[in-house]
Structure 1
Amino acid sequence: MATTHNQAAMTLYELNGMVRSTIESVLADEYWVEAELSEVRESRGHCYMELIEKDANGNTPIARASAKCWRQTWALLRPYFERATGQQLHAGMKVMLQVYAQYHEAYGFSWIVTDIDPTYTLGDMTRRRMEIIRRLKEEGVFDLNKELELPVFTQRIAVISSQTAAGYGDFCNQLAENEYGYAFETRLFAATMQGEQVEQSIIAALNRINAEADLFDCVVIIRGGGATSDMSGFDTLALAENVANFPLPVITGIGHDRDESILDMVSHTKVKTPTAAAALLVSRLSAVDAQLDDWRQRLVRMVTARLGTERQRMSAISGRIPALFSVVKTRQEARIGIIAERLKAGAARRINEQGHRIEMARQAIPPIAMRQLAAAHHKVEMLEQRALAQDPTLLLRRGYSITMCGGHAVRDAGQLKTGDEIETRLEKGRIKSTVK
């Protein structure tokens, strides 16, 4: 359906030109604006930013805008901001920018950055750091890793670093080429040490180390070769909690000279650089070696002194031995003589006593023997008389007879059977009969 216009249509370029003229006339001044960076990137020396403002009661963006900082301005603002804050601009950072409005017919609207206030960002960073520190202390873990003791011989090192970082190479070379020739075992757990993935990458490396914690004496987190201003990844609550609660002592050498990071604060020991971390481990072993050498020397001195004392004591004793032996010999010889005399006298008394007993026994034997012989002779006579009294011939003389059967005396007639031959003995003669 065709529409009739009373006014001639404008081209898009003309319309955008009108918008540009309006903006330049209405928004001619520069303004300071507070915002959070959701994206930052550089291209051909220019810096392109995406700005957002979030709801105070939530995390939902309620305003968005694009901003640009042209090359000549950015070349001045970037080093100024990084020197002041110690960090690079990155997503999630809150900033205060001085901007003016610009509208381009071909590229649309954007805010052009002419200045940046690092004190605002520092204040926000400080507030965030203080909040993280407060929470760590409330949880009771802020000094937890510091309470661990480094082993006396700290030689098995788990290293968290970028594999290609120059600092990692410096660290390994410093340990391998130490002047004392100490042997160290290092194992790399590679992690991202710069950019937005620092927190997650280091936590993942810590988890891998924790799975085999018995194989290591400590953990060294080192960073070298990256921008010294890109330190935001080391100031997070999650990373600090992981390090504070880690079961092994953690040494940090993440290469910056400005304020210490929260990671440094909760670690067991912090040094500035990877080479300083290696020097710390070498010097610790050197101190232990020196202490052991001191103990060895003290032990040698003590043993030498004790041996000298014992030699003097033995020499004194050996000098006294001949005299002591002579005295002891004389005493023992006298004692043996006394004992020998006592033995002789005792033996003589014993022999006399036994001789007297033998003589008494010899005199007592004949009368006793005579009495014993008389008694035995009387007993024999009595037995003889009894035997004579039992002689069967006496009975036969009195008129008795004895009946024999089979060589045995018959006492009961019932014992005999018909046909048995019996023999009757009389005082004079014998009679044989047959039982019927």
Structure 2
Amino acid sequence: MHNAISLYELNSLVKEVIETTMSDEYWVEAELSEAHENGGHCYIELIEKDENGNTPIAKARAMVWRNTWNIIKPYFERVAGESLHSGMKVMLKLYPTFHPAYGFSYTVSDIDPTYTLGDMAKRRKEIIIKLKENGLFELNKELEIPMFTQRIAVISSNTAAGYGDFCKHLSENEHHLYFKTELFSATMQGESVESSIINALNQIYERIDDFDVVVITRGGGGTSDFSGFDTYTLAENVAQFPLPIITGIGHERDDTILDLISNVRVKTPTAAAEFLINRLEYVYQKIEDIKFNISNIAERKMEMEKMRLEKVASTIPSLFALIKIRQETHLDIVMQRIYNKMTHDINEAKHHLNILTDNIKPLCERITTNQRHKIEMLEQKTETLDPDKLLKRGYSITLYNGKAVRDAKLLKSGDEITTKLENGTVKSTIK
């Protein structure tokens, strides 16, 4: 028989060895593959990846007990500006523990937010450099916000207080300016921020002609996870979107990458509404100023024209009398010229007509004589060609189907022909 111990006894030995030989706490750099709260405690999955790839080379479980988590969480979120989430690099102070029933894990006693802040800043800097290298950083800023910006597509959570504040502020503006808003609901916190906002942008793009600008708002609540707004993919989509994008995410920390590449960045949803109202009020005031200027110019112009007309009216009688005398004199001269011209043309025509009259009689006689001679010659030729005279001389004419037969080869057996003589006709059948 072997000398055996129970599993519980073995685990208790392991627990004793770990607690004896590794009683110190250690600061450890790691990446979070998962982090969630349950019962007031925070449960964490830690991972370390190969520097040359994404292959995990180490994994471990860790947890923060409720009393410690209640202290760490608010401090970390206040400094780092976001909550623990998958993919975040962290610096944790922990010590190893081994429970006979639950196995090995690490207990976290502290988390350094400045480390995470530095890692986030590094990652954000790399994304910004990449955006600039690809010519995307200023792309959306180059779009001009329309003068009459009233049709607004809003990307926000339908339950966010910031969205309600935005709509209320727009509708209750001092000048009663009209704005039409339409919500495209999206997740504004957590890991799905990126995909959710991109999906909303795609929906807006399908109706691009229905909107003037896009407003991305969040607002409300305390400090929480803003990492979803610091991704290259989201920045790339926003930068290349064909409408100007205004961000009012509602935080006081450094600008997110989404803020940096948007057309206009304001702090809060209410500030975004105020920006749109001020812009439209400016346009409205410009129109009012132009209307006032046009009215003044028109009044001055009408007054000047009235004075000019009065001046012209006072000079009309004398001018009319002078013009009348000049026109009457000119008309007399024109009438005399017309009379002289007509008299000259009539005399010229009479003279020409007399010449034509003297020449036309002998010409007509000559033409008549020539034509009479031609007629006599034609009569002679006609008499010579008269068929009746040929018949009287003993000739006959053979007809087939009413036409003279000139060639016997054209006739065939059975054809009926007619022979016309001086006196009568003879019908024959060809045999």
State the TM-score, normalizing by the size of structure 2: 0.76
Offset of residue 257 of structure 1: 1.1
Q: Percent identity?
A: 58
1:209-358 mapped onto 2 (5 Å cutoff): 209-332=204-327
Judge conservation of contact 1:228–1:255 (CA < 8 Å) in 2: no
In structure 1, list runs of 5 or more residues that go unmatched.
Answer: 362-413, 416-436
Q: Structure 2 CA distance, aligned partners of 1:239 and 1:193?
A: 13
**2: CA distance, partners of 1:122 / 1:96:** 10
User: Which residue number corresponds to residue 159 of structure 2?
Assistant: 164
CA distance in 2, matches of 1:339, 1:213: 74
Taking the aligned partners of 1:104 and 1:338, their CA distance within structure 2 comes to 134
- Output the CA distance in 1 between the equivalents of 2:322 and 2:143: 68
Amino acid of the residue matched to residue 142 of structure 2?
Answer: E
Structure-1 separation of matches of 2:223 and 2:145 = 28
- Counterpart residue identity of residue 321, structure 2: S
1:36-47 to 2 correspondence within 5 Å? 36-47=31-42
Letter in 2 for 1:155: Q
| Cα distance in 2 between the residues matched to 1:345 and 1:208 | 89
Q: Decide which structure has the larger Cα Rg and report it.
A: 1
TM-fit CA distance, 1:314? 1.2
Q: Output the TM-score relative to the length of structure 1.
A: 0.75
Q: Aligned equivalents of 2:213 and 2:339: distance in 1?
A: 89
8 A contact 2:46–2:61 mirrored in 1: yes
Q: Which residue of 2 aligns with 1:33?
A: 28
Which SS does the other structure have where 2:246 is aligned? strand
Aligned: 1:180 with 2:175: yes
Quote the offset at 1:47 in angstroms.
1.4
Query: Cα distance, 1:310 vs. partner?
Result: 1.3
The answer to whether 1:59 aligns with 2:54 is yes
Q: Is the 8 A contact 1:36 1:92 kept in 2?
A: yes
Taking structure 1 as reference, are residues 344 and 115 closer, same or farther at Cα in structure 2, changes over 3 Å only? closer
| Per-residue deviation, residues 306-349 of structure 1 (Å, max 9, x unmatched) | 11211111111112222323333444556667778x689979xx
Matched position secondary structure for 2:254: coil
SS at match of 1:293: helix
Q: Deviations over 1:140-198 (max 9, x none)?
A: 11111111111111111111111121222222222222222222222221111111111
**Deviations 1:404-433 (CA, angstroms, capped at 9, x unpaired):** xxxxxxxxxx99xxxxxxxxxxxxxxxxxx
The aligned amino acid for 1:219 is V
Displacement of 1:222: 1.0
Q: Say which is worse superposed, 191-200 or 97-106, in terms of deviation.
A: 97-106
- The answer as to whether partners of 1:167 and 1:274 remain within 8 angstroms in 2 is yes
Alignment: residue pair count: 352
User: Does residue 1:198 correspond to 2:193, yes or no?
Assistant: yes
Q: What do residues 260-290 of structure 1 show as CA deviations (whole Å, max 9, x unaligned)? A: 1101111111111112212222221111111
Pick from 90, 93, 96 the counterpart of residue 88 of structure 2.
93
SS in 2 for 1:305: helix
Q: In structure 2, the residue corresponding to 1:64 is in which secondary structure?
A: strand
Preserved CA contact (<8 Å) 1:194 1:226: no
Distance 1:309 1:332 in 2: 32
For residue 83 of structure 1, what is the aligned residue in structure 2?
78
Deviations 1:181-237 (A, max 9, x none): 222222221111111111111111111111121121111111133543210000001
CA 303–292 in structure 1, closer or farther in 2 if over 3 Å, else same: same
- Map Cα deviations across residues 112-163 of structure 1 (whole Å, 9 max, x no partner): 1112222211111111101111111111111111111111111111111111
Choose the corresponding residue for 2:107, options 96, 112, 118.
Answer: 112
